[in-house]
Amino acid sequence: MRRKQTIGTKIKKLLQKIIENIMQASDETESEFIEQSQSMMKQRISQNLEDNEAFLKNIFDKSSDIIFRNFQVGKNQAGLLIFIDGLTNSEAVNSDVLRPLIQYGNSANQEEILKESNIKNILQNQVITTAQLSGGKTNEEVVKSVLTGDVAILVDGMGQAIFASMRQWDKRSVEEPQVEPVIRGPREGFTESLRTNTSMVRRRLKTPTLKTELMKVGRLSQTDVVIIYLTGICDEKLVDEIRKRISRIDIDVILDSGYIEELIEDNPSSVFPQLAHTERPDKLASSLLEGQVGIMVDNTPFALIAPHPFFRMMQAPDDYYERALGMSLIRLLRYVFLFIALLMPAVYIALSTFHQGMIPTELLLSMAASRENIPFPAFIEAMIMEIFFEALREAGVRLPRPVGQTVSIVGALVIGQAAIQAGIVSAPMVITVSITGIASFTVPQFNQAIAIRVLRFMLMILAGMLGLYGVFMGFLVILIHMASLRSFGVPYLSPIAPLELSSLKDVFIRVPWWAMVTRPGFTVSEDIKRMKDSLRPRPPK
C-alpha cells in the first residue's frame, strides 16, 4: 500500500512540474522534464497488476469518464479493463470482452493461465472475440490507446496489455453541406468523423493509387491528419513538401483544419488564402484528380486542398455537373461580380467626389437630386453603409436561426427605407452597397470572398483620398502582390500568369466534358490525359 502511494505521488509531482514547465515554455528545462516523463511513460508494463493500476489511476486522476473495471480471470487471477465511457461501445465490451474473460476461468485449467508467456495468446485466440486487437508493452501505449477510445486489458502477470478496438461514439450523420450547396450534384457533405470522410472519398475513387497517409498533430489533442492524394497524378515533391510542413507543426491542439491552413501557408501575411477548404467529398475528389493534395483533419468537416491558385476560387462544383454553355456564362457572370464586389463602392466614391464629369448627365442629375440633403461626404456615407452591411451579415451568421431572419428583415427595412427617408444616406449609395453585398456572395469560396471584402475597404479609402487614381494604384498593388504570391510552389495567378493556354479551358469558361481531355498542367506533372480524345457524342454513321 505504502509503495503504491509513493510511486503515485512521485508521478503526480512530476506531471505537475511538466505541465507547469510547458506553461512557462522555458526551453531548457522543458526538454529535460519531457525526457524524464517520457522515460517514466516508456517503462515496460509491470508484471504486478497493482503497480500498473496505481500508475494509471494517477495518470487518469480526477477523470470521471475513465472506467476501471476489476475482474477475475479464472479462479484467482486479477484483471483490469480500462476504457473511456462514451468512446466505446459498452454493449460490445460486455459481450465480447468482459463476459468471455470472466467465464473463461471457470472451465479452463488454472495452471495454463498462470504461465506468463502464453496468457496473451490464449486471451487473443480463445477468449476475446473482438475483430481488431493489438498489443502494447509500455505504459505510454496504454495511455494513448485508452485516450483514443480502445479498451485496454491488463492481466496480473501478463506484463503487457491487450487493446481491443471497439470505438464508438455519437457522430453527426452525413448531411447536406451547409456552406457549399449546389443545385445539381451530390448532396452529401463531410462530417466531423475522419473515417467517414475518407470513406466518402474512397467510394468515389476506387483505386489503390489513392493514398491516405496518417499523421498525428497536436501535443494534447493528438489529432489525426490525413494527407490524401493520388499517386501517379500528383507531384511527389508536392506531397513531400506538405508532409514536411505538417510535421513541422508543434502545437498543443488542432481544433479545425484552419489551424493547419495558417501553419503551412506560403505567405502568412497575405490577405489571400493559399489553400481552399471544402465540405464536399466530390469537390475533394475532383481536386485530387487534378493533381492537388487534400489534407483531412479529424473532428472537422472541412478538408483542405493545396495548392490553390486564385482562379480555382471561381469554380463551383455545379459548373461541372450542369451543362457547359449555361455554366460557362454563369462563371463569366461570377467574374463580372468579382470586379463589382471589389471595385464598385470605390469607383462610386471616386466618381462622385472627384470625377463628376465621367458620370452620364442624367445619372448625375438624379444622383444630385437624391444626395441633396445628405449630411455626410460620399466616402463616410459608403463606409457607414458597408460597415453596417458587414455587421448585418455577421449578425445573420451568429444569431440563432429563428432570430436571424428577423434581423435581416429589420436590417433591410432600416437600410432600405428608413435611412433614405431620414436623409442619412442616399438611394444610389444603398443600391451600390447592396449590389456589392450580393456580389461578394457570388464568389464560391468563402475565404476568398473575405479577402475581397478586406481589399474593398482598402480601395474605398484610397478612392476617398485620391479618386480613380487611387483606385487604380490600389488595384495595381493587389495585382502585383497576387503575381508574386505562390501556393505550394504554384504561381497564384496560374494559368493566366504564367500563361498556359491548354489550361484556359477551365478558367473563364468550362468546356464540355468531351473537350476536357487533359488535366490542368500547372498542378499535374504526370498522367496528364483524362480521357480518350474522341468522346464527342455524334450520331451513328
Partner 1 sequence: MKKIGILLLVIMNAVLLSGCWDRVEINDIAIVIAVGVDKMDNGDICLSLLLPVPKKLSSSGSGSSGGGGGEGNGSTLVISESGKSIMDAYRKLQGKLPREILFSHIRFIIIGEKLAQEGVAGVLDFFSRPRQSNLRAHILFTRENIDEVLGGEPGIEQSVAEMIREEGEMGIGAGIDLKDFINMLNEEGVNPWAGQLVKLPLAVETKKNEKTEASKPKKSYFSIRGAAVFDKDKLVGWINYDEVRGVLWLRDEVKRGVGAVNVDVPEEKGGGKMGMRILEAKTRLQPKINEDVLTIHVYIEATTVIYDNSSKLDLSDPKIIYDAEKMAENRIKGRTQSALDKLQKQLQSDVLGFGTAVYREYPKEWREKYKDNWHEEFPELNVEVACKVSIPRVGFVTNSLTRKEDEIIK
User: Contact letters (x/-) for partner 1, 390-429, by CB under 8 A?
Assistant: ------------------------------xxxx---x--
> Which of 353, 408, 518, 525 is in the footprint of partner 1 by CB under 8 A?
353
Q: Which residue has the cell 448585418?
A: 392
- By the 10 Å C-beta count (0-12 exposed, 13-18 middle, 19+ buried), 218 is classed as buried
Q: Which of 377, 394, 480, 513 binds partner 1 (CB under 8 A)?
A: 377
Does the protein bind partner 1 through residue 432 (CB under 8 A)?
no
Please, which residue, 392 or 465, has the CB nearer to partner 1?
Answer: 465
CB within 8 A of 345, min separation 6: which ones? 382, 386, 432, 433, 436, 456, 459, 460, 463
Close Cβ partners of 24 (under 8 Å, ≥ 6 residues apart)? 30
Size of the site for partner 1 (CB under 8 A): 32
Q: Which of 117, 373, 402, 539 binds partner 1 (CB under 8 A)?
A: 373
Q: Which of 325, 369, 410, 480 binds partner 1 (CB under 8 A)?
A: 369
Q: How many residues does this entry show for the chain? A: 541
Q: Cα separation of 120 and 79, whole Å?
A: 12
Is residue 477 classed exposed, middle or buried when 0-12, 13-18 and 19+ CB atoms within 10 A define those classes? Answer: middle
> What is the C-alpha to C-alpha distance for residues 350 and 348, in angstroms, rounded to an integer?
5
**Binders of partner 1 in range 459-478 (CB under 8 A):** 462, 464-467, 470
Nearer to partner 1, 432 or 445 (CB): 432
Residue 378 binds partner 1 (CB under 8 A)? yes
Other C-beta atoms lying within 10 Å of the C-beta of residue 457? 16
* Closer to partner 1 by Cβ: residue 359 or 395: 359
Parallel, antiparallel, or unpaired for β 293-297 and 276-278? unpaired
354 touches partner 1 by CB under 8 A: yes
Shortest separation between residue 359's beta carbon and partner 1, angstroms = 8
Q: How far is the CB of 370 from partner 1 (least distance, A)?
A: 5
> What is the Cα 377 distance to its own chain's centre?
43
Alpha carbons 196 and 131: distance in angstroms, whole number: 19
76 binds partner 1 (CB under 8 A): no
52 touches partner 1 (CB under 8 A): no
Is 364 a binding residue for partner 1 by CB under 8 A? The answer is yes
Instruction: Label residues 235-271 b or e (16+ Cβ within 10 Å = b).
Output: beebbebbeebbeebeeeebeebbbbbebbbbeeebb
User: How far apart are CB 435 and partner 1 at their closest, in Å?
Assistant: 16
**Beta carbon nearer to partner 1, 357 or 537:** 357
Stretch that binds partner 1, among 32-40, 251-259, 291-299, 356-364 (CB under 8 A): 356-364
Where on the chain is the footprint of partner 1 (CB under 8 A)? 352-354, 356-358, 361-362, 364-374, 377-378, 420-423, 427, 462, 464-467, 470
